[in-house]
Amino acid sequence: MGAVFDFYQTLGWGLSALVIGTFLLAGTVKGVIGLGLPTVAMGLLGL
């Protein structure tokens, strides 16, 4: 479990916030529109 925390600490706050924000946005789109979460998340992360 400590290795997971070490990994996220090396990513930095900016990248971690970007990934979390992407999945929050993708989850919102899934809930409102009904598109698949992986489809939207991979599209946003690929930008």
pLDDT in tens, 8-31: 677 778 888 888 888 888 888 777
36, 32, 6, 11: which is closest to 20 by C-alpha? 11
Task: Tokens 């598109």: give the residue.
Answer: 35
Q: Output 13 or 34, whichever has higher pLDDT.
A: 13
**Contact (Cβ atoms closer than 8 angstroms) between residue 45 and residue 19:** yes
Grade residue 1 by pLDDT with cuts at 50, 70 and 90: low
- Residues whose CB is less than 8 angstroms from the CB of residue 35 and which lie 6 or more positions away in sequence, other chains included: 29
**Contact (Cβ atoms closer than 8 angstroms) between residue 31 and residue 41:** no
Q: Output 19 or 3, whichever has higher pLDDT.
A: 19
Global pTM reads: 0.52
User: What is the distance between the alpha carbons of residues 44 and 20, in angstroms, rounded to a whole number?
Assistant: 12
